[in-house]
Amino acid sequence: MRKITYAEAIREAIRTEMSANQRVFLLGEDIGVYGGAFGVTKGLLQEFGKERVRDTPISELGITGVAVGAALTGMRPIVDIQFSDFITLAADQIVNQAAKIRYMYGGKGSVPLVIRTPSGSGTGAAAQHSQSLEAWMTHIPGLKVVQPATAYDAKGLMKSAIMDDNPVLFYEHKLLYKTIDDVPVESYDIPLGKADIKRAGQDATVVATGSMVHIALQAAKQLEKEEIHVEVIDPRTLVPFDEQTIIRSVQKTNRLIVVHEAVKRGGYGAEIASMIAEKAFHHLHAPIKRLGGQPIPIPNNKKLEAAAVPQVDDIVLAVKEICRSPVR
């Protein structure tokens, strides 16, 4: 066990799987000599060569189409889409091809494809490079959607994503690349569809995704000073989704807050809230609260950018409100 960054953990998982399986290869813009937009693929070109680390033209649709074809012929490609906003340019290949092929061919064909993509705000990259669009992909049958919040989770989930025989969207929040965590040297995998309780508590459950996991943990630490003990759960994967861990937590705490950076309207938090409303409603002592991004394009200005997505104070206030609500 040693401390490494989120970016290094992802690179380590990719390197391990490329060393173990000649069918695993990378393709994307500036992933070779430059090492990727955020440095995740740094050094892999020198280690594995141009055949397996392929710099591509600027065409997300073309890159993804090539990867789908390669996957169908037995390869296990890892696509690097520089910003998750640009998935919109590759949507036809992802939504109408990769996600559908296994079903359309009765299981005789599979698309073992990983699409890595940085998402989220906080870097001043403005409206076209800062979106959180993961809820779009969760709506498509045939796709798996992963959103790790820590370096430890990123390494284990990346290995599982590469080994999976289905297309996987792997969302990496840009603010997390430099965060540090204890990560084992040896290879390990984290099953897709298994949530993690990042902090135990009994007064309220906060389900947070991506970078919001760290914001929720800061809020929980602050609330503990006031004798309010919050349980923070990170789903880690949105598809498949671990319902039971969250249901058990709500049965214990009787309160639920869902937090994500993506715009609140139509965000994945609504899916979590409705699941609890359907399956654990009678355990709730207060209405479910959802915290999400404002329905605006992400601003470039730092103060406005911060105001556009949930912050620590927003979670603290929401927890206090539901904890003080009269028991239903």
**Collapsed DSSP state (helix, strand, coil) of residue 308:** coil
Longest distance between any two alpha carbons in the chain, whole Å? 63
Kindly name the residue from 60, 134, 172, 261 that is annotated as catalytic: 60
224 is catalytic: no
Under 8 Å between Cβ of 292 and 260 = yes
Q: Can you tell me the distance from the alpha carbon of 115 to that of 86, in angstroms, rounded to the nearest whole number?
A: 12
Kindly name the residue from 17, 29, 129, 260 that is annotated as catalytic: 129
Under 8 Å between Cβ of 109 and 100 = no
The DSSP 8-state label assigned to residue 191 in this structure reads: -
Under 8 Å between Cβ of 237 and 146 = yes
60 is catalytic: yes
Q: Residue 89 class from Cβ within 10 Å (0-12 exposed, 13-18 middle, 19+ buried)?
A: middle
- Strands 237-239 vs 144-146: parallel, antiparallel or unpaired: antiparallel
What element of type H or E holds 130? none
Residues taking part in catalysis: 60, 129
